[in-house]
């Protein structure tokens, strides 16, 4: 900037400035380029393609595209398909709530109460199940939940009535909560670990009882973590295919299963399948938009 | 329509699960590869894309086959390689639709051979995806049993050769169910005993077809009123069903958590042979009689090797040995004489003619597919 004062200096440094400018442009490009190209090729273009196909009513593979219209989207508004969407949203919401209720105490204990030198080890133990395939873990739940399964064996051996949970919606909630709990714990742990303990002490000094401290200090401070964890669990469980298919019983049609049926089932209606995919993408985008809007602001207010 | 996942023994259920994974991966690949232009998945435009690969395959003498799991075991491939010097590579799929989607998306151009089922043969001929066979290059096609000499799905076997066939029926626990099931109606009549202890196939056409058959209609009904009647009847039974399952029912059936499952004969018969408590029965009013074939896609490289493979499998001895190992019925008349007495007398594997005559092959239903899919979504979401 200082060089700009003398005309001679300005002349001399012009090429250097241009070079710097180019470098300033190129450097982020070099960093962002590879993932950018990847995202455009693997995310943006396919999504646009799905968007285009979703506008072709009743498109079947091998047929030429004849005209565009919104019929596929209108069809989603039929009661049958709305019920499928509603069930998917219900499964996802229920799973998110269960994960939060079960995950928060665990993350709290891990981040604040557990002995420091054991923390990382305990955390690894918690993530350990993620090292095996989710399909295998879901099959394991069949062994646990079925009428002659492990859970009923334990129940009957202590004299409690047995439960036939297999092939019910409860089985789906259990299976999905189990699958996605580690994500919730991981994110909440990261959030709770950064908790400013001095604020808790100050609140206690000023006469707040533990319950008040928790609701007024701890929860607001970890709200971004809670929001991020809930979002991740909600989004992944909304698109889950394996758990409802294997554990859900005869009434467990979800949006991801419906999309699968449109592409690989008898109907082979790629147009309708694409429209359903766009709706799923929209639902996920809306969840992310909510996170961006409400997830980050609160901590600034409280800190 | 997720279809058969074949396996040799009920103890091998883990293998079957892995196959489900493979199948799902293949399904994903099929969808992922659908980089289609103006004509979605036009097979014609994708054909030349892998011409280089085709040349390479020819040079190395490699034969790539896309088939059902357990349809070609290592033994068969080994014998073929010994006889002809051609290496065999096998990929598996778990439903006709998965196979079709992959081929339509251009992801199956390296396959010289596919194993479509009857109705899929008709459909693929209509789409122009199967090569018309040069009969002068085939030896032994004239040995087919009468039913398969000129089948409905492909007259004169012009685009496919019949490879195996079987039925769809009920596999049940005979210790608990003392009055044995004989027909589909059994499910409705005994719904109290069977409540949440029975499964039907997660396969629209098979399950809806069975209900249609129990109502006296055709498996291939296209009349909306008939399909709706079947839907109503299935909906009525649904509270008593444990699930719609095409695979993974074995463990639950063996442990007694399920009492009855609707299964494909290739999966049901091995279980019944291994454990006599479990019996397979073909419903009296008629079940679906399916045929799986071998065909050459129009995009196939190394067609010479494909004919070699077809001729190899048309040999009665090879066909008979495959039956003994993999438990499906052969359409090959001469092979019948070489099959062991035990298997030949198995009424489930080779049902008597009158029962077979009542059976029906699942055929393409055209526009009615959308209706089937709609009612299926209703049943599984109501």
ipTM (interface pTM): 0.83
Instruction: Say whether pLDDT at B7 is over 50.
Output: no
Is the pLDDT assigned to residue A64 strictly greater than 80? no
- B172 and B141 co-located in one domain: no
Considering only CB atoms, A250 lies closest to which of B41, B104, B380, namely: B380
Partners of B260 in the β-ladder: B172, B198
Task: Output the average pLDDT for chain A.
Answer: 87
Same domain, B140 and B282: no
Percent of chain B beyond pLDDT 70?
84
Give the CATH number, domain containing residue B83.
Answer: 3.40.190.10
Looking at per-residue confidence, does B27 or A50 come out higher? A50
Contact A275, A76 (CB under 8 A): yes
A81 pLDDT band, cuts 50/70/90, is very high
Q: Which neighbouring-strand residues pair with B169?
A: B263
Q: What residues contact residue B341 under an 8 Å CB cut-off, 6+ apart?
A: none
Higher pLDDT among residues A274 and A290, named by residue:
A274
Identify the three-state secondary structure at position A52.
helix
Task: Tell me: do A79 and A32 sit in the same domain.
Answer: no
- Do A147 and A162 touch, CB atoms closer than 8 A? yes
Burial of A25 (0-12, 13-18, 19+ CB in 10 A): exposed
Q: What is the DSSP letter of B338?
A: T
Same domain for B304 and B225, yes or no, is no
**CB proximity A81 to B under 8 Å:** yes
Does the CB of A35 have a partner CB in chain B at under 8 Å? no
B268 and B255 in one domain? yes
Report the C-alpha gap between A32 and A30 in whole angstroms.
6
Percent with pLDDT over 90 in chain A: 52
Mean of the pLDDT values across residues A268-286?
92
Distance between CA atoms of residues B313 and B163, nearest Å: 8
pLDDT in tens, B357-376: 889 999 889 889 999 999 99
Q: Is residue B38 part of a domain?
A: yes
Q: Which residues make Cβ contacts (< 8 Å) with residue A127, sequence separation at least 6? A: A182, A186
- The per-residue pLDDT for A5 is 43
In a domain, residue B322? The reply is yes
Indicate if B127 and B237 belong to the same structural domain.
no
SS3 state at B182: coil
Q: What is the domain range of residue A262?
A: 73-302
pLDDT at B6: 42
A300 confidence band (pLDDT: 50, 70, 90): very low
Tokens encoding B255? 């442990």
d(CA B120, CA B250): 27
Structural domain contains residue B315: yes
In this predicted structure, the answer to whether residue B125 has a pLDDT above a threshold of 90 is yes
Sign of CA dihedral A38, A39, A45, A47: positive
- Most B CBs within 10 A among A68, A265, A269, A270, hence the mutation to make, goes to A265
Q: How far apart are CA A48 and CA A64, in angstroms?
A: 18
Please enumerate, as own/partner, the contacts of B28-31 that have beta carbons within 8 Å and a separation of 24 or more.
B29/B102, B29/B107, B30/A264, B30/B98, B30/B101, B30/B102, B30/B105, B30/B107, B31/A263, B31/A264, B31/B101, B31/B105
Confirm whether A262 is domain-assigned: yes
Query: Is the minimum CB–CB distance between A267 and chain B shorter than 8 Å?
Result: yes
> Could you tell me which chain B residue has the CA closest to the CA of A168?
B242
Kindly state whether residues B251 and B233 are assigned to the same domain. yes
Residue B66 has pLDDT above 90, yes or no: yes
Binding-face residues of B in 175-234 toward A, CB within 8 A: 196, 204-205
Residues A91 and A23 in one domain: no
Do residues A180 and A290 share a domain?
Answer: yes
Task: Report which DSSP code applies to B144.
Answer: B
Q: Which residues pair with B167 in a beta bridge?
A: B289
Q: B18 touching A, CB under 8 A?
A: no
The residue with tokens 């070609």 is B72
SS3 of A33, please? helix
Cα(A139)–Cα(B251) distance, rounded to whole angstroms?
11
Candidates B36, B369, B381; nearest CB to A87: B381
State the helix-helix crossing angle for B96-104 and A255-264, rounded to 10 degrees: 70
Task: Please indicate, yes or no, whether the overall pTM of this predicted structure exceeds 0.80.
Answer: yes
Whether residue A25 is found in the same domain as residue A78: no
Per-residue confidence at B240, pLDDT binned at 50, 70, 90?
very high
In which band, very low, low, confident or very high, does the pLDDT at A22 lie, cut at 50, 70 and 90? confident
Is there a domain that residue A79 lies in?
Answer: yes
Residue-level pLDDT at A69: 86
pLDDT digit string, tens, across residues B337-363: 899 988 888 888 999 988 888 899 998
pLDDT band (50, 70, 90) for residue B44: very low
Q: From B99, B79, B77, select the one nearest B88 (Cα to Cα).
A: B77
State residue A102 phi and psi, 5-degree precision: -80, -35
Q: Does B288 touch chain A (CB under 8 A)?
A: no
Residue with the bigger pLDDT between A58 and B337: it is B337
Q: How far apart are CA B226 and CA B229, in angstroms?
A: 5
8 Å CB contact of B373 and A269: yes
Domain enclosing residue B259, as ranges = 167-288+360-381
Tokens of B351: 């049902």
Round to whole Å and give the CA distance between B369 and A140: 35
CB–CB contact A251 B104 (8 Å): no
- Whether B30 sits inside 8 A of A264 (CB atoms) is yes
Give the closest-approach CA distance of A215 to chain B in angstroms: 40
- Give the Cα separation of B379 and A251 in Å (integer): 7
Interface of B with A in 23-62 (CB under 8 A): 27, 30-31, 34-36, 38-43
What is residue B158's predicted lDDT score, i.e. its pLDDT?
95
Angle between helices B204-214 and B224-237 (to 10 degrees): 100
pLDDT in tens, B267-321: 899 999 999 999 999 999 989 999 999 999 999 999 999 999 999 999 999 999 9
Position A214 in a domain? yes
Residue B77 lies inside a defined structural domain of this protein: yes
Taking 80 as the threshold, does the pLDDT of residue B50 lie above it?
no
- pLDDT at residue A257 greater than cutoff 50: yes
What is the length of chain B? Answer: 382
Distance separating alpha carbons of residues A20 and A23, to the nearest angstrom = 5
- B243 contact residues in A (CB cutoff 8 A): 167, 248-250
In three-state secondary structure terms, B10 is: helix
Average pLDDT over chain B reads 84
Which chain A residues have a beta carbon less than 8 Å from that of B30? 264
A268 shares a domain with A153: yes
- CA-CA distance, A113 to A122, in Å (whole number)? 12
Chain A: closest CA distance from residue B316 (Å):
34
Per the model's pLDDT, the better-predicted residue between B31 and A210 turns out to be A210
- Residue A37 belongs to a domain: yes
**Residue B16 predicted with pLDDT over 80:** no
Tell me, yes or no, if B238 comes closer than 8 A to chain A by beta carbon: yes
Measure CB to CB from residue B244 to each of A60, A135, A250 and give the nearest one: A250
The Cβ of residue B311 has, within 10 Å, a number of other Cβ atoms equal to 18
**Which tokens go with B141?**
């096609």
CA B311/CA B137 separation, integer angstroms: 8
Residues whose CB falls within 8 Å of the CB of residue B318, separated by 6 or more in sequence, listed in order:
B76, B79, B312
Residues A242 and A103 grouped into a single domain? yes
Residue A81 lies in a domain: yes
Q: Does residue B375 share a domain with residue B276?
A: yes
Q: What is the pLDDT of residue B4?
A: 46
The pLDDT of residue B97 is 86
Phi, psi of B53 (to 5 degrees): -60, -35
- The confidence score (pLDDT) of residue B264 equals 92
A51 — contact with chain B (CB < 8 Å)?
no
For residue B222, the chain A residues in CB contact (below 8 A) are: none
More confident residue, B14 or A228: A228
Whether B58 shows a pLDDT value over 50: the answer reads no
For residues B197 and B173, give the distance between their C-alpha atoms in angstroms, rounded to a whole number.
11
Most confident of B7-11, B28-32, B232-236, B248-252: B232-236
A153 contact B CB<8A: no
Q: Which helix (H) or strand (E) holds B98?
A: helix B96-104
**Residue with tokens 């033994």, as numbered in its chain:** B75
A44 shares its domain with A132: no
Q: Which of A61, A135, A171, A270 to mutate to test the interface with B (most CBs of B within 10 A)?
A: A61
* Residue A65 DSSP symbol: P
Q: Within this chain, do residues A147 and A44 fall inside the same structural domain, yes or no?
A: no
Give the mean model confidence (pLDDT) for residues B58-81.
82
Q: Please tell me the number of Cα atoms within 13 Å of A112 on its side-chain side.
A: 18
Specify the pLDDT at position A16.
Answer: 64
Percentage, residues of chain A above pLDDT 70: 91
Residues A47, A88 share a domain: no
Taking CA atoms, what residue in B is nearest to A60?
B40
Residues of A in contact with B373 (CB under 8 A): 261-262, 265-267, 269
Q: Is B372 an 8 Å CB contact of chain A?
A: yes
Same domain, A24 and A100: no
Q: Is residue A66 part of a domain?
A: no
Structure tokens at A234: 């909600």
CA A292, distance to chain mean position in Å, is 14
Same domain for A44 and A107, yes or no, is no
**DSSP percent split of chain B into helix, strand, coil, nearest 5:** 50, 15, 35
Position A142 in a domain = yes
H or E element, residue B162 = strand B160-173
Residue A13 pLDDT: 52
A-chain residues near B100 (CB < 8 A) = 61, 268
Q: How many domains does chain A have?
A: 2
Do B27 and B150 lie in a common domain?
yes
Please compute the mean of the pLDDT values over residues B95-110 and round it to a whole number: 88
Structure tokens at A66: 């004849």
The verdict on A273 touching B (C-beta cutoff 8 Å) is no
B138 & B90 share domain: yes
Whether the CB of B273 is below 8 Å from some CB of chain A: the reply is no
Q: Is the same domain home to B279 and B295?
A: no
Among candidates A53, A64, A135 on the partner chain, residue whose Cβ is nearest the Cβ of B39:
A64
Please give the pLDDT value at position B205: 92
Residue B111 pLDDT > 80: yes
Q: Are residues A13 and A159 in the same domain?
A: no
Domain count within chain B: 2
């Amino acid at each position: 900037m200082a060089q700009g004062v003398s005309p001679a200096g300005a002349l001399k440094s012009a090429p250097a400035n241009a070079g710097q400018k180019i470098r300033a442009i190129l450097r982020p490009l070099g960093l962002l380029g590879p993932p950018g190209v990847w995202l455009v090729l693997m995310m943006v273009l396919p999504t646009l393609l799905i968007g285009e196909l979703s506008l072709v009513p009743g498109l079947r593979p091998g047929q030429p595209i004849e005209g565009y219209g919104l019929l596929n989207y209108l069809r989603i508004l039929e009661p049958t398909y709305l019920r499928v969407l509603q069930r998917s949203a219900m499964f996802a919401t229920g799973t998110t709530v269960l994960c939060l209720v079960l995950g928060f105490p665990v993350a709290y204990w891990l981040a604040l109460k557990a002995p420091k030198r054991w923390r990382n080890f305990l955390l690894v133990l918690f993530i350990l199940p993620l090292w095996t395939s989710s399909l295998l873990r879901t099959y394991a739940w069949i062994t646990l939940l079925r009428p002659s399964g492990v859970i009923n064996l334990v129940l009957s051996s202590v004299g409690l009535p047995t439960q036939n949970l297999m092939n019910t919606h409860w089985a789906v909630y259990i299976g999905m909560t189990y699958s996605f709990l580690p994500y919730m714990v991981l994110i909440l742990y990261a959030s709770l670990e950064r908790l400013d303990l001095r604020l808790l002490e100050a609140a206690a000094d000023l006469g707040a009882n533990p319950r008040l401290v928790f609701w007024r200090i701890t929860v607001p401070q970890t709200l971004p973590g809670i929001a991020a964890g809930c979002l991740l669990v909600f989004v992944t469980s909304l698109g889950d295919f394996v758990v409802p298919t294997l554990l859900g019983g005869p009434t467990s049609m979800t949006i991801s299963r419906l999309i699968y049926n449109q592409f690989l089932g008898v109907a082979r209606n790629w147009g309708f399948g694409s429209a359903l995919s766009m709706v799923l993408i929209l639902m996920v985008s809306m969840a992310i938009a909510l996170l961006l809007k409400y997830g980050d602001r609160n901590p600034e207010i409280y800190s | 329509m997720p279809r058969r996942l074949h396996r040799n023994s009920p103890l091998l259920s883990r293998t079957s699960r892995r196959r489900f994974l493979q199948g799902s991966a293949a399904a994903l690949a099929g969808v992922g590869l659908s980089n289609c232009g103006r004509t979605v998945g036009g097979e014609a435009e994708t054909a030349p894309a892998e011409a280089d690969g085709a040349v390479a395959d020819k040079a190395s003498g490699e034969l790539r086959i896309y088939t059902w799991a357990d349809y070609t075991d290592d033994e068969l491939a080994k014998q073929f390689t010994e006889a002809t010097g051609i290496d065999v590579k096998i990929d598996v799929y778990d439903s006709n639709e998965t196979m079709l989607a992959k081929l339509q998306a251009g992801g199956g151009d390296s396959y010289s051979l596919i194993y479509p089922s009857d109705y899929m043969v008709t459909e693929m001929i209509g789409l122009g995806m199967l090569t018309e066979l040069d009969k002068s290059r085939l030896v032994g096609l004239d040995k087919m049993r009468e039913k398969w000499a000129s089948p409905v799905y492909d007259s004169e076997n012009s685009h496919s050769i019949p490879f195996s066939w079987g039925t769809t029926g009920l596999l049940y626990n005979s210790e608990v169910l003392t009055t044995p099931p004989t027909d589909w109606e059994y499910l409705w009549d005994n719904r109290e005993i069977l409540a949440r202890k029975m499964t039907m196939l997660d396969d629209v056409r098979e399950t809806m077809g069975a209900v249609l058959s129990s109502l006296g209609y055709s498996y291939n009904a296209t009349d909306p009123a008939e399909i709706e009647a079947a839907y109503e009847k299935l909906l009525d039974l649904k509270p008593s069903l444990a699930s719609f399952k095409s695979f993974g029912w074995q463990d639950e059936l063996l442990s007694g958590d399920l009492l009855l499952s609707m299964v494909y004969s290739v999966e049901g018969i091995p279980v019944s042979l291994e454990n006599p408590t479990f019996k397979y029965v073909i419903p009296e009013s008629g079940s679906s009689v399916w045929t799986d074939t071998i065909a050459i896609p129009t995009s196939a490289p190394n067609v010479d090797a494909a004919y070699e493979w077809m001729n190899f499998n048309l040999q009665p001895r090879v066909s008979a040995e495959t039956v003994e190992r993999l438990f499906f019925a052969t359409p090959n008349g001469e092979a019948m004489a070489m099959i062991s007495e035990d298997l030949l007398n198995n009424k489930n594997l080779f049902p008597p003619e009158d029962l077979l005559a009542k059976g029906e092959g699942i055929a393409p239903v055209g526009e009615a597919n959308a209706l089937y899919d709609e009612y299926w979504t209703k049943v599984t979401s109501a």
